[in-house]
Homo-oligomer: A and B are copies of this chain.
Amino acid sequence: MKILIIEDESGIANFLKQGLEEESYEVQLSEDGAQGLEIAIENHFDLILLDWMLPRLSGLDVCIEFRKQNKQTPIIFITAKDTVSDTISGLKSGANDYIKKPFNFEELLERIRVQLRPLSGEHDVFTLRDISLNVSTHQVFRGNQEIQLTQKEFALLEYLLRHKGEVCRRSRIIESVWEIHFEYSTSVIDVFMNSLRKKLNLSKSEDYIQTIRGIGYIAKEP
């Protein structure tokens, strides 16, 4: 696994390099924002550790520019205590996590592992207003209330959220969720739609999931 560290304080940079190399990561260093961005774009890394305060180009700008290139590499910000609140808003600019100085090395390792994990499995979260569905942990929340769903309920909701805003035909749902690939008449969908709406507490007036008579269903933002 290759990690790029963009950090101007050589003390911290070398400490990180050494520590990460001991964990058998391949590490490359860069000391300023502009150069770091260039290296990041022209090479492949599995993860980038990015200091917030950098000469020539700030960490935030590096992150924004990098994402503009449509690069998905996870980015973890390294930030001083007093700029934490800025950083949190910075997460919206496309970073994946942040850690504040001074940090515990074990904690950093843990965060790196968390970011690299998705490479070996998917880590997808789908949302619909206040409903969120996490494929990898198999959890569903409405607000901060966790909702217990069974497998089929979960699969059905996942299908609808993956196609949020699109009309989902019954035939397609049956194919994807139930893996029935031939003409077949059943009302399982209705039954599971019903229990989904019950568990998620969706009244018909709030049309999170609308019925389209004769066709199927659609999950919709307002």
Q: Would you call A91 an interface residue if the criterion is a C-beta within 8 Å of the partner chain's C-beta atoms? A: yes
Tell me which residues across on chain B come within 8 A of A114, comparing CB atoms.
102-104
- Complex interface bits, A158-171 against B, C-beta within 8 A gives 1, otherwise 0: 00000000110100
Distance in angstroms between the alpha carbons of A214 and B85 in the assembled complex: 41
Whether A18 and B167, one on each chain, are in contact in the complex, defined by CB atoms closer than 8 angstroms, is no
The number of times this chain is found in the oligomer is 2
Please, how many residues of chain A have a CB less than 8 angstroms from a CB on the other chain? 32
- In the complex, whether A111 has a CB less than 8 A from a CB of chain B is yes
Residue A41 at the chain B interface, CB threshold 8 Å: no
Chain A 79-120 per-residue mask, 1 if CB under 8 angstroms from chain B, else 0: 001001100100100000100101110110011001001000
B-side contacts of A14, CB under 8 Å: 85, 88
Most chain B CB atoms below 10 A, which of A11, A91, A169? A11
**Contact between chains at B84 and A104 (CB < 8 Å):** no
**Smallest distance from the beta carbon of A29 to chain B beta carbons, Å?**
14
Residue A176 at the chain B interface, CB threshold 8 Å:
no
| Cα separation A107 to B103 with both chains bound (whole Å) | 11
| Separation of A166 and B85 alpha carbons in the complex (Å) | 27
Q: Which residue of B lies closest to A111 (CB)?
A: B102
Q: How far is the CA of A15 from the CA of B79 in the complex (A)?
A: 15
A15 touches B88 (CB 8 A): yes
Docked pose: A111 CA to B46 CA in angstroms:
27
Residue A56 lies at the interface, judged by CB distance under 8 Å to chain B? no
Q: Are B150 and A88 in contact (CB under 8 A)?
A: no
**Would A167 and B139 count as touching, CB distance under 8 A?**
yes
Chain B residues lying within 8 Å of A68, measured Cβ to Cβ, are none
Which chain B residues border A11 with CB–CB below 8 Å?
A: 84-85, 88, 100
A204 interfacial contact with B, CB 8 Å: no
A81 near B102 (CB under 8 angstroms)?
no
Contact B15 A138 (CB under 8 A): no
Cβ contact within 8 Å between A97 and B107: no
Question: A91: shortest Cβ distance to chain B, in Å?
Answer: 7
User: How far, in angstroms, from A84 to B114 measured CA to CA in the complex?
Assistant: 17
